[in-house]
Structures are given as structure tokens and as C-alpha cells.
Structure 1
Amino acid sequence: MRRKVFLILLLMLIVLMVSNFSLRGCIAIEEVNNVSAIPSNPTLEDNSSDVSVNNNTPQPQLSNIVVAAGGKEGIFILDVSNKSNPKIISSSNTAGWAEGVQVSGNYAHIADGGNGLVIVDITEPTNPRQVGHLDTDGYAWGVQVSGNYVYIADGGNGLVIVDITDPTNPELVTKMPLTALYGLDYID
């Protein structure tokens, strides 16, 4: 009986692992509008994993903008003013693997895999610039922003909470060890 349960659990684990890898090509979006220097032939291949839209921006240049986590390519910034024909207007490479993104105000907060948290200023969507970074010591899979705090799903490192009062100097507040944390959502 124990052997049968073990084999069933092992089979379930294999199915979960296989389905996780097959979902890696999915795209997720964050909304931010302007056009100038477009990178040469940017593409959203099968490495985009998250998308974020900033619906509460008073900045007109950030309306109709989506920020997509593009895995090894970093982030892509898209103009979605024409919903049937979105366009990549810029990108920003990160040192890690952009797994998750959330836009808050003028900043894209990126869960950048083994590189931790990356903060990119998107005030000028056609010219994004990295302004902040914090190594989380784990593998940053997901990110949520609430006020001056970023909550990071940091894989085997658990939950990491970061103070972003100064986006150029994110500061670790605490780490909560968990067996594995790969996604999260902050509920106000």
C-alpha cells in the first residue's frame, strides 16, 4: 500500500513538473504610451512569463502601456492603445531571468530569477532605465507591490519583504523561510 501511494505521489510530482515547464511560454501583462527608439527586431518568443498593467497612473505617457516579463530577454514595454495590434516600443535587459513583474507608479518591479529584485523607471516608456536592485539570495519567481513594500516569492528562500521607499536603494525588511514559494498575491 505504501509503495502504491509513493508511486502515485511520484507520478503526480512528475505531471506537475512537466505542466510547469509547458506553461513557461505563457505571457502575462502590466499596462503603461509613446514611441521612439525601438530595439532592433524585439520579439516576445516563448520566454515571457508575466504581465502587469498600471491602471492607476496619473501619467498620460503611461496609459495604454503594458510591461511584460520576458525571461532571459528582461522586460518588454508594449503600447496597447490599439488592442488588436499591440506594439513593442522598448525593452530592458536584466541580469537574471525576468519571471514576474508588477508596475506601481513610474516603476516596474521585476522578480528577476537568481538576480533577485530589479526596479526599472518607466517614466519614459521608450527609454526604461534600471534604477534599483536587491539580491534576494533565492530565486525570485513572483512580485507584488503595496505602498512602499515589495513582496517577493523567492522559491526555496520563501517570502522576502523589501522597503522601496527609495526605489534606487531597496532595503531588505525580512525573510520568512518557507519550503517553496513560487507565486503570491497581495490583498489590501
Structure 2
Amino acid sequence: MSTPTKNVAAWTSTLAQGEPVTFRFSRVRGALLALLCVFLILVGLVLGLAASGVLMLLGWLVVLGCLVLMVVHLRRAISPAVGLTVAPTGLTMTTARAGEIPWSEILQVETITQDSNRQIELGVTNAEAQRQYDAGLVTVFDREKTDGRMQKALWLPAGLAASKPALTSWIDEELTARSRF
């Protein structure tokens, strides 16, 4: 089943029935980024073949780096994997190495903007952050909250085929509902 990108009511209904809600990576975004990589590979080839010295080296590095990125984005465009699963027991995401993050380990959900990029950030307990770090996740962040306290945080995968504001709001509502128990 394809998850509607903005249908919060469908997400809520599915989760209320005990079924997980999955969010895949955007096919369109993957294809567009792969096309951008092709363009950058062509630029890198021109530099690598026509220039000399540092520009030639830079051209070949661009070709190599963009080839790797192109493969990643093509894979997402052709057969998009599930990037996030929201289940009655917690969240599972491709960026978390230690498996499912239980609802009890999530402290808050918010959308943050960093360098004009919007990300969905999960504030997690120190124990969950350590569990993820021990499993190999090196992108566990320390965030200073408005009251001066520090909180551990993880980012949801970028490029999900869902509205970030709608997804953030919905996960926050589900977190609030589950924290009452």
C-alpha cells in the first residue's frame, strides 16, 4: 500500500488499527537528484579531461563523488525503500542503527531549519541516544533547548515522500497520546 503524502487521517486510522504506517523515499526527488548528478559528472569529465593540475584532480573527484551519489538516488527513484515506519510500539527509520525507537524513548518531535534545509528532529532520552550510538549511528546531536538544558536528538531520513509539517505534527500528536499512559 502506498502511504498518502498528506493524508493525516489515513495515517491515524491505519495506526489505530494496529497497523504500521510506512513512508517511502520520494521517487521524483530521487530522479531529479540523479539527473543533477549526471550534469555534475559531465562538468567533472570536462574538467578532468581538459584541465591540468589541481583542476584535473578536482574534476575526477567530482566524477567519482557524483557517480556514487547518482547510484544512491537512482536506487531510491527506481525502487524506493521504506525510510520510516511508524508503528504502535515506536518508530523505525533507515538512519537509526539500533532498530525501533520506542515511543517511551522519544521526548519531542519538531521541524528545524539548518542552512535552509528543513529536517524533522526527534528529541530522545540519553539512554536511546547511547543505544543508537553504540549500534553505529554517529549522527546523534546535542541540542540546547530554550530553557538551557541539553537534549540528545536524531534526524528522520531526508527525502521522504510526505509533507514535513504534516508528518511532524502527526508524530507529535501520536507521541502526546502515547505519553498519557
Q: What TM-score does the superposition give when structure 2 sets the normalisation length?
A: 0.28
Specify which structure has the higher proportion of helix: 2
Query: Which protein is bigger by CA-based radius of gyration?
Result: 2
Specify which structure has the higher proportion of strand: 1
- Higher relative CO (CA 8 A, sep ≥ 6), structure 1 or 2? 2
